[in-house]
């Protein structure tokens, strides 16, 4: 386990790390009985795929539009009629995603450090989620890929943290549950923590996270080893 004594800012991914994208399943089931889990799974999978494809094609649109397009694709895949009122209801649910059970306890335990968010989410989406989750004011910075015009794992997104904060690369720690995101941050040169709640397999991209935890609360005990 490598040691970095210079971490001054701890940056978190939002979707899938702090906020549970599968928390829309109950609403999906309410609107489309029996399809909730599959609809949520396809929606999230296509949402990520569209961010990668649009980044590669140089055809950026904001994350709200990406999320809506992914929802439409998921409904078409399952032959579900997604009327405008239904679509709006499901989209609004993305502004009220539930934080994972370990989040508030962990953030409280990490409150002596400077905390930040770096997300693909549009600024208004992140603001609404934080407000609805009672997490306003917790983070020193809430940074969006929208300010760069490309999505993670482009190095330009992680570079934005350096430009925004004025900190050195080796002073920034990055925390995500998404393997592609941790790989992107590690490739850029950040210290990384992979939150592997679901015990997934690490992607074979020639890189490894600095630490792996199964819960954010584990980071509360681990981080002091990396802070001078």
Give the mean pLDDT of 23-46.
Answer: 97
**Domain map (residue ranges) of the chain:** 9-18+100-226, 21-93
203 is known as an active-site residue: no
pLDDT at 5 over 70: no
SS3 (DSSP) at 26: helix
Q: Identify the architecture of domain 21-93 in CATH.
A: Orthogonal Bundle (1.10)
Q: How do residues 61-97 score in pLDDT, each as one tens digit?
A: 999 999 999 999 999 999 999 899 999 999 999 999 9
Catalytic residue chosen out of the listed positions 13, 20, 102, 210 = 13
At 187, the pLDDT band (50, 70, 90 cuts) reads very high
| pLDDT value of residue 35 | 97
Cβ atoms 21, 44 nearer than 8 A: yes
Instruction: Determine whether 166 is exposed, middle or buried from the number of CB atoms within 10 Å of its CB (0-12, 13-18, 19+).
Output: exposed
| pLDDT value of residue 204 | 96
- Angstrom distance (rounded) from CA 197 to CA 177: 7
Q: How do residues 93-150 score in pLDDT, each as one tens digit?
A: 999 999 999 999 999 999 989 999 999 999 999 999 999 999 999 999 999 999 999 9
pLDDT at 23 over 90: yes
Average pLDDT, the chain: 95
- Angstrom distance (rounded) from CA 24 to CA 20: 8
Look up tokens 């239904």; give the residue.
Answer: 86
At 228, the pLDDT band (50, 70, 90 cuts) reads low
Query: pTM of the full predicted structure?
Result: 0.94
- For domain 9-18+100-226, the CATH superfamily is HAD superfamily/HAD-like (3.40.50.1000)
What radius of gyration do the chain's Cα atoms show?
17
At 226, the pLDDT band (50, 70, 90 cuts) reads confident
Give the mean pLDDT of 178-206.
Answer: 97
Find out whether the peptide bond into 225 is cis, omega within 30 degrees of 0: no
Give the mean pLDDT of 185-213.
Answer: 97
Within this chain, domains 9-18+100-226 and 21-93 share the same CATH topology: no
Give the mean pLDDT of 186-213.
Answer: 96
| pLDDT value of residue 4 | 58
At 29, the pLDDT band (50, 70, 90 cuts) reads very high
User: Phi and psi for 195 in degrees, rounded to 5?
Assistant: -95, 100
* Token couple for 155: 């190095």
Long-range contacts of 129-137 (CB under 8 A, 24+ apart): 129/14, 129/19, 129/95, 129/96, 129/97, 132/95, 132/96, 133/19, 133/97, 133/98, 133/99, 134/104, 135/18, 135/99, 135/103, 135/104, 135/107
| pLDDT value of residue 1 | 43
SS3 sequence of 124-165? HHHHHHHHHCCCCCCCCEEEEHHHCCCCCCCHHHHHHHHHHH
| pLDDT value of residue 6 | 81
Long-range contacts of 90-93 (CB under 8 A, 24+ apart): 90/24, 90/27, 90/28, 90/31, 91/64, 91/67, 93/23, 93/24, 93/27
* Token couple for 106: 């962990």
């Amino acid at each position: 386990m490598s040691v970095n004594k210079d971490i001054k800012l701890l940056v978190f991914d939002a979707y899938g790390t702090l906020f549970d994208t599968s928390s829309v399943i109950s609403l999906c089931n309410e609107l489309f009985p029996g399809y909730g889990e599959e609809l949520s799974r396809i929606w999230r999978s296509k949402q990520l795929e569209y961010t990668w494809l649009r980044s590669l094609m140089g055809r950026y649109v904001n994350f709200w539009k990406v999320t809506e397009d992914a929802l439409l694709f998921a409904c078409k895949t399952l032959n579900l009629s997604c009327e405008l009122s239904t679509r709006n209801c499901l989209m609004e649910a993305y502004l009220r995603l539930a934080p994972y059970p370990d989040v508030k306890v962990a953030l409280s335990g990490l409150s002596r450090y400077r905390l930040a968010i770096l997300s693909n989410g549009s600024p208004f989406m992140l603001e609404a989620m934080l407000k609805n989750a009672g997490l306003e004011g917790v983070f020193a910075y809430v940074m969006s890929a929208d300010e760069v015009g490309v999505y993670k794992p482009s190095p330009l997104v992680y570079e934005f943290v350096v430009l925004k904060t004025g900190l050195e690369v080796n002073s920034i720690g990055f925390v995500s549950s998404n393997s592609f995101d941790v790989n992107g941050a590690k490739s850029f040169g950040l210290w990384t923590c992979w939150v592997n709640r679901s015990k997934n397999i690490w992607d074979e991209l020639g890189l490894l996270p600095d630490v792996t935890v199964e819960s954010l609360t584990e980071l509360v005990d681990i981080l002091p080893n990396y802070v001078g």
